[in-house]
Chains A and B, each alone.
Chain A
């Protein structure tokens, strides 16, 4: 039987939960695969040897994460990035917009409720810029999403057990969206709290919907209930960069509204999950390297 491990890095455990959300299907799955490591399900501290499939949950935030990740890679045949933190850095990646030292200072000393705070430095790993795991190890498969779809996780594992390449969506959220394509350019940009019209493309209505630039696979759950897509599944499969994709489009559709675009103010729209793997992050890292 194939040996499956779930290894958690910087994460809130949501992707782990997504795996558990398979409910009774999990029982079928566990008949085909041996779960040898999972901090939620298996009492075992060390990463075991001879892993067939390693699911990595969470992105890289500390030097400890790098160690764990490298160990997991060396012990696994197939390594899968599970969830958008592992794939792209996830929401924590937005902190890369700010200076690391300043962020630490704020978190440990600057928040209103802190008095005489200290930045931990003894016996703790160093905090580094948030990064997707692919920056440190070779990743064989990505299952993005925040959290990923349980069904997609299952199907991926089943395929990998059989030695097949899992089939993954090649299109974007719009393809699965029932609201249909926009018929005209948005007249004005709407705020999220304004109630949307039913059965009309949210982008066309002026909501900031990331559907067009986001990988399919979720079944367009959010737009279906009138909530604009926030792009949790990351860029479209053939896209260079999710945030740039939507900016490129808005330049022709609603330029007036993004004219005064600011990264720090608006990245939570454009780059909520993918800033740490964006082209802009590459430029920032390059700059930091050059400074050193």
Chain B
């Protein structure tokens, strides 16, 4: 029993800011304290001595009153490890430097604030219990969602390192959008997309470490510390995967013709089909929406003609369960549908096509066999107008730049000029040309060597003068309207997120950005990570990019995924414990757990210690205080608030209780200190694992004990480290505010701010405003 309290003066520097003698004498007055000692450098040479002193003192808990715990705890942990003491859960830190000395008005205020912070910490130290740890290995397998250029690259990078990869693709073939491109830039001698890609598609299909799951969809993902349990729905092809050799006799005989989505509607496929000739796997699929057997219970010709008896109309959807350590999302993107903007005439005039359709026309394996002819009458177009930024950089559609379309238009224009029709008159109608980096070479080549015309302007209307004669009307930057005659108009459409992203994001528990692309952890320093450790993103599902960028990002995602799955991890079991005598088995905790970590058994909830993240939302909803997070019990938090308020009363100080989460808010409180930004010393922080642990009672009790106000500081709503904690706290605060208002108390006495660790200005503003309003300073 007992607490050993140690103070660090930071090489004596802090003595200038704080009266250490007074702090020591206050601590000594506490009956549970068995040792108080002052050190000057806990972060370095003193740490070993401290642990030795702690062992000698026989104390149960250690109270470290020093600087940021992020600075001093590593050396303490190391020293404890060397000396063979397990201090997990038994150390409480008070940061009297960043959270006190460096931000207070003067020495007296700083000392008194430190005293109140120590009061809360002593209360906690008294209750500390050892915390168990579990060591575990992350599952050495990765799920890659999406078999496009990015997904294939990531899969191969991982498989070549020896990791098991499950590559899931929702369509019947891997390849993605890039497989439909005739060429990709930069264009060298032989860069036909399908050759470059085809090589890797085959490699992925043949790789012993890659399990290809085509025509499959991810249905459910459950998170565990060791990784993810994934449920995959395998859609029925109605063709036996093993028997089919891809001979195509079935498709020859199939009577049903359907617009071919892989040729973007420029050709037809059958109801039993291979998406494109070089599809991998080379296995046919029946499209039940159009197959006569499924629509009219007739036909079954394919069944008759298949030499290998591969047709199986009785196939049912299958569910596959996988366990993986990491997930890479590489689901690609879609081309914007320009028929939403009628001025371009897409959908109205056959010869208004998109760049992707042009890619198909130019592709030797495409609908025209690679001949440049226009869809309406099959004549080669002599005058081609390419329109840029269709659906991009357009407030009516998508405000962002799609990045790849300038280059795609220039590439296709060059291809037409050099390989199809050198006499073609090509005009590129642009808003701004963005051929960044070395791609500028192609722009210069197109403009200066090949005579491709670049005209700046915005399309106002595309219309047909008479059948086959299109006119593009546009406005130049000076506001003058001009007309361009055209045989064919090619629209460079925005890259947009797929509609399926919403559901997938929900299943994965990751976020989408404001446009609907998968959101990265940080746009600057975490572009392939998501807010969920172990889930990575790459390729155009994260935002517009070209093939080479997608490949580079895919390799980066593979690298981080490999790192993620090849480590041993240790989990501190900061999880709830149950008092069976109090539990009424009402099940509220089970329903409230954001991780599904609780199940209701005979004597109450049982916690899955690997699933549980220790947010404490269960404790906050427990009506009888039966379930509590170890070292963060609800009653303990109330006692901490109480003891701060009692001490404040003795000192005659007014207090704003700042209830801070241990994630973003703790970092933020330290960051504010690093900047030496002063804020009122009335603000006393008390730390909890997540704001979700706080009940309405905690906040109202703080006011009852005499706090002038309560400030909750937590993670931004979309970045809460515990899924819903910040959101739940926000709801509670809104309720409290309406209650306070109704009973005629100032609702502003309670405030919540959701800030990340660097939002110093917002915190300063909030705390100053609160003190100004409630205390008047």
Interface residues in chain A, defined as those with a beta carbon under 8 Å from any beta carbon in chain B? 97, 170-175, 181-185, 201, 203, 211-213, 216, 235-241, 244-249, 251-253, 255, 258-259, 261-264, 279-280, 282-284, 286-287
Q: Are A236 and B587 in contact (CB under 8 A)?
A: no
Between-chain CB contacts (< 8 Å), 22 pairs: A171-B582, A175-B583, A181-B590, A184-B591, A185-B591, A236-B582, A237-B624, A238-B625, A239-B623, A240-B697, A244-B697, A247-B696, A247-B735, A248-B695, A248-B732, A249-B623, A258-B735, A261-B738, A263-B743, A264-B742, A280-B743, A287-B743
Knowing A253-B588, A263-B743, say if A171 contacts B583 (CB, 8 Å).
yes
C-alpha spacing A253/B731, complex, angstroms: 12
Interface hit among B352-360, B526-534, B700-708: B700-708
Residues of A contacting B742 in the complex (Cβ-Cβ under 8 angstroms): 262-264
Residues of A contacting B582 in the complex (Cβ-Cβ under 8 angstroms): 170-171, 236-238
Please list the 10 inter-chain residue pairs (A to B) with the smallest Cβ-Cβ separation, ordered nearest first. Answer: A172-B584, A181-B587, A212-B586, A236-B624, A174-B586, A175-B584, A213-B623, A238-B625, A252-B592, A245-B623
Interface residues in chain B, defined as those with a beta carbon under 8 Å from any beta carbon in chain A? 581-588, 590-592, 600, 617, 620-621, 623-626, 638, 695-697, 700-701, 703-704, 724, 728, 731-732, 734-735, 738-740, 742-745
Residues of B contacting A203 in the complex (Cβ-Cβ under 8 angstroms): 586
List 16 other contacts, CB 8 Å, given A201-B587, A251-B732.
A172-B623, A172-B624, A174-B585, A175-B583, A175-B586, A211-B586, A236-B582, A240-B695, A240-B697, A248-B623, A249-B592, A263-B743, A279-B697, A279-B700, A279-B701, A282-B704
Q: Are A248 and B697 in contact (CB under 8 A)?
A: yes
Our pick among A170, A212, A287 for the contact of B623 (Cβ within 8 Å) is: A212
Residues of B contacting A173 in the complex (Cβ-Cβ under 8 angstroms): 584
C-alpha spacing A258/B728, complex, angstroms: 13
Residues of B contacting A248 in the complex (Cβ-Cβ under 8 angstroms): 620-621, 623, 695-697, 732
Q: Are A240 and B584 in contact (CB under 8 A)?
A: no
C-alpha spacing A149/B98, complex, angstroms: 57
C-alpha spacing A242/B588, complex, angstroms: 15
Mostly helix, strand, loop or mixed at chain A's interface? helix
Our pick among A185, A216, A258, A263 for the contact of B584 (Cβ within 8 Å) is: A216
Residues of A contacting B732 in the complex (Cβ-Cβ under 8 angstroms): 247-248, 251
Q: Are A252 and B623 in contact (CB under 8 A)?
A: no
User: Distance in Å from the Cβ of A232 to the closest Cβ of chain B?
Assistant: 15
Mostly helix, strand, loop or mixed at chain B's interface? helix
Which single residue of chain B is at the shortest CB-CB distance from A243?
B696
Our pick among B728, B738, B745 for the contact of A283 (Cβ within 8 Å) is: B745
Q: Are B700 and A280 in contact (CB under 8 A)?
A: yes
C-alpha spacing A201/B697, complex, angstroms: 26
Q: Are B584 and A236 in contact (CB under 8 A)?
A: yes
Residues of A contacting B638 in the complex (Cβ-Cβ under 8 angstroms): 240
Knowing A212-B623, A237-B624, A239-B624, say if A287 contacts B696 (CB, 8 Å).
no
User: Distance in Å from the Cβ of B330 to the closest Cβ of chain A?
Assistant: 34
Q: Are B731 and A255 in contact (CB under 8 A)?
A: yes
Q: Are B626 and A238 in contact (CB under 8 A)?
A: yes
Residues of B contacting A244 in the complex (Cβ-Cβ under 8 angstroms): 695-697, 700
C-alpha spacing A251/B691, complex, angstroms: 13
Q: Are B588 and A284 in contact (CB under 8 A)?
A: no
C-alpha spacing A237/B625, complex, angstroms: 9
Q: Are A283 and B583 in contact (CB under 8 A)?
A: no
Residues of B contacting A245 in the complex (Cβ-Cβ under 8 angstroms): 623, 695, 697
Which single residue of chain A is at the shortest CB-CB distance from B740?
A283
Knowing A216-B584, A247-B696, say if A171 contacts B624 (CB, 8 Å).
yes
Which single residue of chain B is at the shortest CB-CB distance from A262?
B742
Our pick among B624, B703, B728 for the contact of A238 (Cβ within 8 Å) is: B624
Residues of B contacting A251 in the complex (Cβ-Cβ under 8 angstroms): 621, 696, 728, 731-732, 735
Q: Are A174 and B739 in contact (CB under 8 A)?
A: no
Our pick among A241, A253, A259 for the contact of B697 (Cβ within 8 Å) is: A241
